[in-house]
Structure 1
């Protein structure tokens, strides 16, 4: 597929590839396995100063075509449509020999249109389905869904983390599950062994984008309720809501700040459970495909996930998780209290997670099979 190709162009509406675990792993894969390829990121710097690739240990070319907008609010919808237009014109400057790795429909659609003129190949990496991300008026939503199908069926490959989000078929679908990179897991083992970690009878991991609709309101309440018990929380990631700010001030919480992928994985070795709650007020949240599930499976810890998340069924079926409705904090607190009294059940939960290890390939092994 990549014979005689000279440049991998990541067209991604974010400030830095290393700020998105999926793209961080993909960029590393191509750099270390396809070293004849140069790497360019055409990006959107959401907040000033975020463009630096602090976690990549190699240089890439950076071309920012959109600035501002942040990560939420009504204004960001307008920015996405500006991104689509700017991406089209940016792609018109590319070469026939380029490969465009487009993150999301908002990148793949304009890249596909430009490719009809410039003749480069487009890979559609659909980590989140765009038509489900926002609440659009019905006519606009139907139009976006139509062009999502068109894009899927006309790109070279359409990579998806799971099939549950799609109500249409495409011969271009290839499943790329959100599993950790083996290289990063090996780094994590060394980091874990080099540090002293907090001790408690049960340790809960919370990492990633720490925002309210990712369960930070539940995490704060749980931390407050369990202050008198031997439960500790390991927290890492960008603080994106008031609840996250309050959480890290609690005595039963250790906050590591924003960390690399390997450092985040290292904290799993010191944990028993990872919290992955998604507020069920949108379709995309009930069809979440969390990177943390793959991390938990490969390292062998249990998962806490709210029962509304349909894509976590395989974890429930294999008894590898604790699951209750999002707002049922009482049942979640009681379950954790039971695990403190009966460590055998906690060990069984972790063992069930570890048994799933062989059912899923590491991220780079999946990627090799696809490309």
Structure 2
């Protein structure tokens, strides 16, 4: 959504951007990194936080509120709906009001929660209905879908060219950790993102010429301990451009997903696109099926989620093999040329709805 706002804000000054949102935690409505773009705020639901039974109970309320808010839309409005929980009620309202809906499906709703079997099938049927009824159904890849839709439009999780430029300026301006091998760990630093494996790696490599750049929201005990280690440089919670800047100081980016969840095995990490465009390697656990193209292209180090000792062995061997690290990075640069920046992909997408 940040990249989308940047895209519109940089091209059409006469377009009014309205964010109709759910503020799960106090202060989330504040746009700390988009001060130069006017975004009108309508927070129609607040509270719940992230995870737990309370927030799940609020999803039906959110869908009802979205439906009634969308009944106030004009026929000329374009609604970019993030997630099925927003797209489905927006689609229903569009059948009455006649506006266009783009369904941005970053995470399949039916895979996010453990629904009872019959309820799960019902939710999936509504996903199919929404996909085939909206103007465009934006997906990061087709692997997650057991149905076909003429409305599918793949938008890969790649960075914006403007953010890459800003990241390079930040990188050139700052001092960064120096080591023979640097691993980047950023984003949500939670238990389901391999923090135990990173912590094990950091301890095992404490006497080596090795550093970890850590950035993001600490959300588990392992990440908290990791942030305090001498061979870890914790940047805190940073902007998108600052996170990208840290890639220039790194050799690999870490992307682990707990394979006990189906949607995690079908992850489509934005960090992969970031790594390709900047030209560094990727570390991804072997169970992530959607990362096969990275493995095939020689960009990814891949070991089972629970085998952190294998990861240590690989990193120790690379300390004495700089050519191997260089090959990973060169492969990333080569594959990057096959994909456009986020803006390029959006231009193709909006051509479908007559907005260029």
Task: Give the TM interval when normalised to the shorter protein.
Answer: over 0.9
Q: 1:75 aligns with which of 36, 54, 63?
A: 54
Does 1:42 find its partner at 2:3? Answer: no
| Residue of structure 2 equivalent to 1:107 | 86
| Residue of structure 2 equivalent to 1:295 | 274
| Residue of structure 1 equivalent to 2:353 | none
1:28-177 paired onto structure 2 within 5 Å: 28-56=6-34, 57-177=36-156
| Residue of structure 1 equivalent to 2:211 | 232
List per-residue Cα deviations over 1:76-133 (Å, max 9, x = no partner).
2212222111111111122222111000111000000111111111000101111011
| Residue of structure 2 equivalent to 1:17 | none
List per-residue Cα deviations over 1:201-225 (Å, max 9, x = no partner).
1000011111111111211221122
Distance 2:181 2:25 in 1: 37
Distance 1:89 1:118 in 2: 11
| Residue 75 of structure 1, CA deviation | 2.2
List per-residue Cα deviations over 1:260-286 (Å, max 9, x = no partner).
111111000000000000010111000
Runs (4+) of structure 1 moved beyond 4 Å? Answer: none
| Residue of structure 2 equivalent to 1:263 | 242
| Residue of structure 1 equivalent to 2:196 | 217
Q: TM-score w.r.t. structure 1 length?
A: 0.93
| Residue 293 of structure 1, CA deviation | 0.3
Secondary structure class of the residue paired with 1:52: coil
Does 1:277 find its partner at 2:256? Answer: yes
Q: 2:265 aligns with which of 286, 308, 331?
A: 286
Distance 1:244 1:45 in 2: 25
Distance 2:336 2:141 in 1: 17
Distance 1:256 1:361 in 2: 29
List per-residue Cα deviations over 1:3-36 (Å, max 9, x = no partner).
xxxxxxxxxxxxxxxxxxxx11111101111222
Secondary structure class of the residue paired with 1:30: helix
Distance 1:136 1:241 in 2: 26
Flag structure 2 segments of 5+ consecutive residues without an equivalent: 351-356
Distance 1:91 1:242 in 2: 41
Distance 1:249 1:92 in 2: 50
Distance 1:203 1:109 in 2: 43
Q: 2:293 aligns with which of 304, 314, 321?
A: 314
Distance 1:358 1:227 in 2: 36
List per-residue Cα deviations over 1:231-289 (Å, max 9, x = no partner).
11111111122222111111111111111111111000000000000010111000000
Secondary structure class of the residue paired with 1:69: coil
Secondary structure class of the residue paired with 1:33: coil
| Residue of structure 2 equivalent to 1:3 | none
Task: Let me know the Cα RMSD of the aligned residues.
Answer: 0.9
Flag structure 1 segments of 5+ consecutive residues without an equivalent: 1-22
Distance 1:123 1:74 in 2: 29
